[in-house]
Amino acid sequence: MLNKALVIGITESMLEQPFWTRIESQISELKFVAKESPEIMQELPSVDCLLINFGIEIKKEHIDLAPNLKYIGILATAFGKVDVAYAKEKGITVTHLPGYSTESVAEFTIAAILEQIRGLHEGKERGKTGNYSEAGMKAMEIRGKKFGVIGLGSIGTRVAEIAQGFGAHVQYWSQHRKPEQEAKGIKYTELNELLGSSDFISINLAQAAETEGMFGSKQFNLLKKGVLIINTAPMELINIEALGAALTKGGLTFILDHSDEMSQEDLTFLSKWDDCVIYPPIAYITEEARVAKQEMFTNNLEGFVSGNPINTLKD
Amino acid sequence: MLNKALVIGITESMLEQPFWTRIESQISELKFVAKESPEIMQELPSVDCLLINFGIEIKKEHIDLAPNLKYIGILATAFGKVDVAYAKEKGITVTHLPGYSTESVAEFTIAAILEQIRGLHEGKERGKTGNYSEAGMKAMEIRGKKFGVIGLGSIGTRVAEIAQGFGAHVQYWSQHRKPEQEAKGIKYTELNELLGSSDFISINLAQAAETEGMFGSKQFNLLKKGVLIINTAPMELINIEALGAALTKGGLTFILDHSDEMSQEDLTFLSKWDDCVIYPPIAYITEEARVAKQEMFTNNLEGFVSGNPINTLKD
């Protein structure tokens, strides 16, 4: 049992009541504050638990203010702006939500590709207006095409497996080789070769110093004519100006799932091209992911209180 | 080498020039006529070959008028209105185009399901108008759901395999058991049980006396609430009035790929329901299918002329 939790940037509506009931049975008192509230500094000395949303800053100075702090539960996959190294040094358990939206994002990736290559938007519009002619519509298949996955983590692996089900020739590039996936026929390919030979490319890399801006004019110039790229990873991986130049040149369709991190300027810039399809951030919003997120967040807390912590920071 | 072909209901623009060149190298003379042209009866006595589009009627009386007829090539998967039994009796070879659009239709099936359950139409509309909010949008996953395939022929089998790639629990009902597919984990299920337990249902039966109208009020009443049905098979399988009643009752989404065979009356009737999605006939229109269709049609003719007929009527 924990004494007092400071809940930062998570409102009551973000979790359903049964989850709050379970959380309240593990913690005597919950204090809700908004992101960047001045109350945070005041409350830290008296809490032994932090429950925080994605992007909340927990730095050394915050941790030093909270001598009783034992547990930080993050309502997100990424550790974000938590100084996990310092927390660890202080013996604080930090948990996160790995993989709750893996399937949601992987299925969205394939869904958005199919929507594009089958002209479903146009088809649905025609049907709605009583025009049942297919005249002028074009379509292509995934089967038999080269399907490149860049970044073979949990989402990339599921994208690759589903693409294999369609009969695509799946190739991948990742920072580390994945022998287990290679044994299933997912072929390792050098990045430049993958860029130059793939008909479809799914970008599934995490954002890090070495991946930011890694897709620039050199990479876009290597692409096969007619390629479709879908990026469900952060747009920080893409040099926006180089993407614009590639879209102007033509022969490229680029689909993205817009996250809050993109600037309005970049959005306005990219929306100039019909071949750039910008979705609201709907890749991760399945009902299954929404429930799994709350379940995992609650399980993490229960695991810690019962002495069996799960989903903690790996060394 | 054949002497003279009567080409019925196929215009020159339906096949690309290289295919016509190959066809012309097998037949001395081609005579093009429209469907139901009065010239058909006049030409039959002088031809040894018929090249016909889908739905062209070739009855006993036509065959009796053509004593030299050796070959009927149909530009379609189904034999349609050709009296194949009588043709066979007369020693005439009849060829068709099995499976040229299998992959095209199977991928469309999954595409249209994903489009629906991920709200892609709405998402794309929002993006196009600069609204990047996901507020109010809902989505679900295929993974872990019961996916029923009714009719496990070539298309149904591919739909089942792709659904397995998504991690669905795939069950099927077909007029004949398919041990090979069952060994791959596609579970045989009685039709009523399949209807009552599936979250997704793909109808992939051929139209025949015993399948026409087989989905009536009894079948619709068995369905699980929230089910999504997609029918890429002929709508003759469905009792339209019973479908309307089920849509009124609610808890059912029905997607169809409209074929020319549907009456305007039925289309107007079904378009009353938002939960009934009517696409133009775009399931089979991939570029791959378009090329394969022409290739197979030409190969069939070449096979016959060289003495190795392929894709003929099976006994």
pLDDT digits (tens, 9 = 90+) for A4-31: 999 999 999 999 999 999 999 999 999 9
User: Three-class SS of residue A235?
Assistant: helix
Residue A142 is encoded by which pair of tokens?
């995934």
- Provide, as residue numbers in chain A, all residues whose Cβ is less than 8 Å from the Cβ of B114: 107, 110-111, 114-115
Q: Do residue A120 and residue A233 come from a single domain?
A: yes
Q: Do residue A88 and residue A136 come from a single domain?
A: no
B315 pLDDT higher than 70: no
Q: Do residue B77 and residue B215 come from a single domain?
A: no
| Among A145, A122, A131, A165, residue whose Cα is nearest residue B287 | A145
Q: Do residue B189 and residue B274 come from a single domain?
A: yes
Q: Do residue A190 and residue A151 come from a single domain?
A: yes
Residue A170 lies in a domain: yes
| Among B303, B306, B307, B301, residue whose Cα is nearest residue B21 | B301
Confidence class for position B55, pLDDT limits 50, 70, 90: confident
What part of A 235-294 touches B (C-beta under 8 Å)?
A: 258, 267-268, 271, 277-282, 285-289
pTM over 0.90: yes
Mean pLDDT, chain B, whole residue set:
96
Do the chains contact at B139 and A285, CB–CB below 8 Å?
yes
Q: Do residue B121 and residue B93 come from a single domain?
A: no
Residue A315's pLDDT is what? 47
Residue A203 lies in a domain: yes
Q: Do residue B21 and residue B135 come from a single domain?
A: no
Q: Which domain holds residue A45?
A: 2-100+288-305
Rounded Cα distance between A304 and A313, Å, is 13
ipTM of the complex: 0.91
Residue B187 lies in a domain: yes
Residue A313 lies in a domain: no
Q: Do residue A22 and residue A89 come from a single domain?
A: yes
Q: Which is it for strands A49-53 and B49-53: parallel, antiparallel or unpaired?
A: unpaired
Residue B179's pLDDT is what? 97
Q: Do residue B76 and residue B133 come from a single domain?
A: no
Q: How many domains does chain A have?
A: 2
| Torsion over CA: A82, A84, A85, A90 (sign) | positive
Q: Which residues pair with B253 in a beta bridge?
A: B228
Residue B313 lies in a domain: no
CB-based contact A143:A114 (threshold 8 Å): no
- DSSP of chain B: -EEEEEEES--GGGS-HHHHHHHHTTEEEEEEE-TT-THHHHHGGG-SEEEEETT--B-HHHHHH-TT--EEEEESSS-TTB-HHHHHHTT-EEE--TTTTHHHHHHHHHHHHHHHHTTHHHHHHHHHTT----TT--B--STTSEEEEE--SHHHHHHHHHHHHTT-EEEEE-SS--HHHHHTT-EE--HHHHHHH-SEEEE-PPP-TTTTT-B-HHHHHHPPTTEEEEE-S-GGGB-HHHHHHHHHH-SEEEEEE--TTS-HHHHHHHTT-TTEEEE-S-TT-BHHHHHHHHHHHHHHHHHHHTT---SBPP-
Q: Do residue B149 and residue B225 come from a single domain?
A: yes
Residue A303's pLDDT is what? 97
Does residue B187 sit at the A interface (CB-CB below 8 Å)? Answer: no
Q: Do residue B56 and residue B111 come from a single domain?
A: no
The low-confidence residues of chain A, meaning pLDDT below 50, are 315
Does residue B112 sit at the A interface (CB-CB below 8 Å)? Answer: yes
Residue A226's pLDDT is what? 98
**B130-138 average pLDDT score:** 94
CATH number at residue B248: 3.40.50.720
Residue B15 lies in a domain: yes
Do the chains contact at B130 and A271, CB–CB below 8 Å?
yes
Residue A24 lies in a domain: yes
Residue A197 lies in a domain: yes
Residue B310's pLDDT is what? 96
Q: Do residue B250 and residue B116 come from a single domain?
A: yes
